[in-house]
Amino acid sequence: MSPTPTLLWFRRDLRLQDNPALQAALRRGAPLIPLYILDDAGEGAWRAGGAARWWRHHALAALDASLRGLGSRLLIRRGNARAVLRELVAGTDAGAIYWNRCHEPAIEARDQVIQTEFAAGGLAVESFNGSLLHEPPAGLNRQGRPFQVFTPYWRACLALPVAPPLKFTAAALPAPARWPGSLALEELQLPVRARWAAGWTDHWQPGEAGAARRLARFASAAMERYADERNRPDLDGTSLLSPWLHSGELSPRQVWAAVKSRSKESGVFPPSNGARVFLAELGWREFAHHLLRHFPHTPAQPLRAGFAAFPWAADPGGAHLRAWQEGRTGYPIVDAGLRQLWQTGWMHNRVRMVAASFLVKHLRLPWTAGAAWFWDTLVDADLANNTLGWQWTAGCGADAAPFFRVFSPVLQGRKFDPEGAYVRRWVPELAGLPAAHLHAPWEAPGPVLAAAGVVLGKNYPRPIVDHATARLAALAAYHQLRETGPGALAP
């Protein structure tokens, strides 16, 4: 008697290579029904934002094309995942459901209910780690408590072995005798505001093939310069792998293996300082998921509870928030970052820190407002990473930068975009300014502004706040908070 079909449930693992659930399904030796379910309610309050949904649409199209090349296809459904799975189990007589785990609180809670229900019904229900080097339970300190400082956490992780990525070599996938009905991908209506993302395919190639190309390009050359160039938004100095990692078209084990393969000649791992620094950034991704698992309230609330009482500034009509979102703050490095984000769905990491600091400290607007904007506009919007990044900047999270560390946008621009190439690209109305005045156009002499065609207040805004004044106001607010409850600000 032939085995009953296996439902292979794809979620944030939209790839064939290094896919533990897929490999386990193949070992079962049964007809395979690859499945994707759009279950917005199952993702809780943090359903995918607009940019991530655009990416997911194209990643699913690429996965379906790969499956069809193997004599299979991607079955697409929409609705409550439990109900969809019940219907498919009944309609296909499936005997197993396999998936790779997704580490977000709402999704984990939903998955636990599903696993319990179907296992009780006699199905083989298994889930696997396909998205992290080490799943969160592995990351506890000597007292058995969650790490809240990155360095000892990453040191503990480095002492653990990293399994090599699983190789997918099948020439075909076993298909069921009859395919269940499926929605067309377009019926999911994943991309929103299509005109917003009209040019994104010039910047990105969602899908497993695009991920492999970008990884190969980075690991062969740019990784060696990573430690020196990663903070330079005017250079191609970062990996740019985050969108593929978030959607699971690339696994962290594949990234680790690619770095390790560079060690073959020297026998030293990591093979360079650039590689060591890059792997530590992969470690921050792991740390973010560790924190989210142990502190599931943090996407909406500060880890350091005392910061919940922070005296945020009033913003009548949301004018300051809109100016920040639209890249109209009058600070070129901040504006360049927000415009890059809107036009490409991505922002350079150094500029993310500067832009986030400006919102929280210069404008004194809640970090949750910035996190919500990034969530909707980043193609790599990841709940764990987004939460860690914003709480780090706001000084209210684990291993966070202190609140009293206030970035100067002018100094940050001059240091990390010294010739102004980044600002000129994304704020073209300032392109004619010499580098000496590009990051503080309000300080430029009138003739210099006129020669560059810049009219402050007309074709480029004056600063919406003064840096020195805003810095003092932020520090005063922080000291006010410390006086009301200093103990609550401790990590």
Give the Cβ contact number of residue 159 at 10 Å: 7
The question of whether 196 is a catalytic residue gets the answer no
Residue tagged active-site, from 126, 135, 349, 429: 349
Please report, for the chain, how many H helices and E strands are present, in that order.
20, 5
State the Cα–Cα distance between residues 401 and 396, nearest whole angstrom.
Answer: 8
Residue among 135, 196, 284, 342 flagged as catalytic: 284
- Both tokens assigned to 361: 């400290």
Phi/psi of residue 35, nearest 5 degrees: -140, 135
Q: How far apart are CA 20 and CA 252, in angstroms?
A: 13
Closest C-alpha among 167, 44, 153 to residue 107: 44
Strand arrangement, sheet containing 96-100: 75-78, 32-38, 6-10, 96-100, 124-128
Determine how many CB atoms are found less than 10 A away from the CB of residue 373: 19
Confirm whether 312 is a catalytic residue. yes
Integer angstrom CA distances of residue 165 from 16, 213, 250, 409, 468? 11, 17, 10, 41, 51
d(CA 412, CA 434): 17
Please list the residues that pair with 13 across neighbouring strands.
Answer: none
Q: Catalytic residue among 200, 256, 390, 426, which?
A: 390
**Is position 390 annotated as part of the catalytic site?**
yes
CA angle 129, 392, 323 (to 5 degrees): 115
Place of tokens 């076993």: 174
Catalytic residue among 126, 229, 281, 429: 281
Residue with tokens 């709940």: 383
Residue indicated by tokens 């792991």: 286
Q: Is 281 a catalytic residue?
A: yes
Residue type, 381: A
Catalytic residue from among 99, 367, 373, 392: 367
Name the residues annotated as catalytic. Answer: 281, 284, 312, 349, 367, 390
